[in-house]
Structure 1
Amino acid sequence: MRLQDFLGTQEKWNFEAIAQDIDLTRQIQVLLIGLGLLDAPADGKFGPVSAAALKEFQELTKSGEKDYLGAVTAKNLIETKPEDLPQPPLKLSNSIASRIIKYLQLKDYQISIGAKQYNIVYIEGMNEDWTLNSDTPNQFNDRRIVIEIVEGVPKIVNHWQATTEPGSHYTYNPMNSRGAARIKFGQYKAWAVGFHGNADRHEALVQVEPITVHRDFDKNFIRTGDKLDTGLFAINQHWGYDAPANDIKTASAGCLVGRRRDGHREFMSIIKQDRRYLANKDYKFYTTIIPGNDFVKTVPG
Structure 2
Amino acid sequence: MRILFEFGENDKDTSVKNFADSTDLTSSDDVHTPARDFNSASWKYALCTALLAVSIVVRPISNWIDTQSVIQQVVALVNPQASQMPNSLAVRLYHAMQRKGYEVSLGEGEVNIIYIRGADQFGRPNGNRINEWSDRRIVLQFRSGSPVIAGNWAATVKPGLPAIKNPLGKSGAAFIEPGQYRAWQVGSHHGIFGRVEEGLVQVAPVSFRRDVSRDGNVNGEPVQSGKIGLNQHSGSNQRYVDASSYACLAAQSVLGHRSFMSVVKSDPRYHQNPNYLFATTVLDVNDL
Number of the residue aligned with 1:112: 105
Q: 1:145 aligned to 2:138?
A: yes
- The structure 2 residue matched to 1:271, chosen from 252, 264, 272, is 264
Tell me, yes or no, if the aligned pair for 1:187 and 1:287 is still in contact at 8 Å.
Answer: yes
1:213 to 2:208 alignment: yes
Residues 216-225 or 276-285, more deviating = 216-225
Rounded Cα–Cα distance in structure 2 between residues aligned with 1:243 and 1:290: 24
Aligned to 2:161: 168
Q: Pick from 166, 171, 187: which aligns with 1:194?
A: 187
Amino acid corresponding to residue 202 of structure 2 in structure 1: Q
- 4+ residue runs over 3 A deviation: none
After the TM superposition, which residues 55-94 of structure 1 pair with which residues of structure 2 at under 5 Å, given as runs? 93-94=86-87
Structure 2: unaligned runs, 5 residues or longer: 1-83
Q: 1:104, 1:128 → 2: CA distance?
A: 18
Distance in structure 1 (CA, Å) of the matches to 2:144 and 2:217:
40
Q: Distance in 1 between matches of 2:85 and 2:99?
A: 13
Q: Distance in 1 between matches of 2:274 and 2:88?
A: 32
Residue identity matched to 2:235: G
Residue 248 of structure 2, aligned match among 255, 271, 290: 255
Deviations 1:204-239 (A, max 9, x none): 000010111100001121221112221110000000
CA contact (8 A) 1:119 1:147 kept: yes
Among 261, 273, 295, which residue is 2:287 paired with?
295
1:231 maps onto 2:226 in alignment: yes
CA drift of 1:102 comes to: 0.3
Q: How large is the Cα RMSD of the aligned pairs?
A: 1.2
User: Which amino acid in the other structure matches residue 237 of structure 1?
Assistant: Q
Whether the 8 Å contact between 2:133 and 2:252 is mirrored in structure 1 is yes
Q: Which amino acid aligns with 1:200?
A: R
| C-alpha separation in 1, matches of 2:258 and 2:141 | 18
Other structure's SS at 2:91 match: helix
Shift, 1:92, TM fit: 7.4
Which of 146, 171, 183 is the aligned partner of 1:178? 171
1:130 and 2:123 correspond: yes
* Cα deviation, residue 295, structure 1: 1.9
Distance 1:176 1:227 in 2: 16
Cα deviation for residue 150 of structure 1 reads 1.9
TM (norm. structure 2) is 0.69
Q: Secondary structure at the match of 1:176?
A: coil
- Alpha-carbon separation, structure 2, partners of 1:141 and 1:114: 30
SS of equivalent to 2:243: coil
Question: Is structure 2 residue 286 aligned with structure 1 residue 286?
Answer: no
Give the 3-state SS of the residue equivalent to 2:126 in structure 1: coil
Cα distance, 1:176 vs structure 2:
1.8
Unaligned runs of 5+ in 1: 1-90, 297-301
Equivalent position SS for 1:97: helix
- Conserved in 2, the CA contact under 8 Å of 1:114 and 1:151? no
Contact kept, 8 Å, 2:179 with 2:283, in 1: the verdict is yes
The C-alpha deviation readout for 1:16-60, integer Å capped at 9, x for no partner, is: xxxxxxxxxxxxxxxxxxxxxxxxxxxxxxxxxxxxxxxxxxxxx
SS in 1 for 2:110: strand
SS of 1:171's equivalent in the other structure is helix
* Corresponding residue of 1:242: 237
From 150, 154, 170, the equivalent of 2:147 is 154
- Secondary structure of 1:117's partner? coil
Higher mean C-alpha displacement, 283-292 vs 214-223: 214-223
